[in-house]
Amino acid sequence: MRLRKIARAEGFLKEHKEIVVTDLTDFNIDNCFNNNKEIHLEIGCGKGQFSINMAKNYQDINFIALEKYDSVLLRAVEKYLNLEEKPTNLLFILSDVLDFMPKINDHKINTIYLNFSDPWPKNPQAKRRLTNINFLKQYQRILVKDGLIIQKTDNLDLFNYSLIQYKLAGFKILEEIRDLHNSNIFNITTEFEDKWSKLGPIYYAKVKV
């Protein structure tokens, strides 16, 4: 599906510098939240439902919601701004993950969430998958000791591929669930998940550095 470009997105996001980072030039993760709480990162936050609700439910954790498309992040920020009680432990960042990773110092992130990442189904596209071993090596650098990756997907091929990549990269698989919504795991959903979980199972993996 082709992404619809929203002309006002760029300007809107820049108007809300208190909660949105649109320029990584002077970005310093140590100054993001001005506290020493854990930092959790969602890569590809989409319209923001997951990160916003995580921040509301876990106020003792800081959350970064990363999204590369301004027209998509616009919707996430609007959703946040419409809340009566806005969590203060959430920061939105407009950036491609490849540009963002080099800005993070070693061992700063406690948990990475990969929610319904693009499966890039063709073999030549494998290197673009967010669970490709080249990405996993970057995650290892920024994750703390015993840091976690938590993945959800509706794509079985991507899930099976990811499990192999985790093992190749030296991650320990803690949980491997092939029907999340029929498990007893507490689960905060994404917009995509709410729609597509009715059509088939959601696959879930939790792995540790």
By annotation, the residues acting in catalysis are 118
Burial category of 82 from C-beta neighbours within 10 Å (exposed 0-12, middle 13-18, buried 19 and up): exposed
Residue 204, φ and ψ in degrees, nearest 5: -135, 135
Token readout for 196 is 């597509």
Q: ∠ at Cα 185 (42, 156), nearest 5°?
A: 65
Separation in Å, CA 77 to CA 21, 71, 157:
11, 10, 32
172's enclosing H/E stretch is strand 172-177
HSE of 148, CA atoms in CB hemisphere, 13 A: 13
How many of the other CB atoms lie within 10 Å of CB of 143? 24
